[in-house]
Amino acid sequence: MRLTTKGRYAVTAMLDLALHRGKGPTSLADISERQGISLSYLEQLFAKLRRHDLVKSVRGPGGGYQLSRDLECIFVAQVVDAVNETVDATGCGGQGGCQQMGETCLTHHLWCDLSDQIHSFLSGISLADLVSRREVQATAERQDRRHQSRQMSADRIAVG
């Protein structure tokens, strides 16, 4: 299966946004720091997510991004699809030219079926499902504590 960092990072960033949804817009800089994803990469991903109406931007001081729909209405497969990522278990990119002279290999259809099953599985998992998981909440709390600690340290340095 080929799910590159683009798809993984997009899902991670959307889950971060979902976990912080009650605190107003979330800046990409905050997501970047909490998740260890470069800010410029997040900007590219969020441009695509916005075009697919998964997020909306809020301008001005205290601005950032918010989910454009309820958590129950955003599915992992939609996020992956929005950033032009494919979930493909074939070796040929689903094109069928698996063997020499562009012929289809014996197991081509098996791997296509697996790709369809993976996409279907991800289509059944909403951000709400992920947010409700205890281990996700525990990880988010740890990341938030670390993020707050870094912000307090930065504030002390700026003041001192």
Does residue 108 fall inside a structural domain? no
Is 70 exceeded by the pLDDT of residue 6? Answer: yes
Does residue 26 fall inside a structural domain? yes
pLDDT band at 2 (very low <50, low <70, confident <90, very high): low
Q: Side chain identity at 18, as an amino acid letter? A: A
Q: How many residues does the chain have?
A: 160
**pLDDT tens digits for range 53-72:** 999 999 988 889 999 999 99
Does residue 103 fall inside a structural domain? no
Distance of alpha carbon 46 from alpha carbon 139, whole angstroms: 23
Query: In terms of residue numbers, what domain contains 63?
Result: 5-85+125-155
Residue 93 has a pLDDT of: 77
Does residue 21 fall inside a structural domain? yes
Does residue 118 fall inside a structural domain? no
CA 60 distance to own-chain centroid: 24
Distance of alpha carbon 95 from alpha carbon 4, whole angstroms: 19
Residue 105 has a pLDDT of: 87
CATH of the domain at 151: 1.10.10.10
Does residue 17 fall inside a structural domain? yes
106-110, 114-118, 143-147, 149-153: segment of lowest average pLDDT? 149-153
Please give the tally of structural domains in the chain. 1
pLDDT band at 1 (very low <50, low <70, confident <90, very high): low
Does residue 95 fall inside a structural domain? no
Q: What is the mean pLDDT of residues 115-141?
A: 95
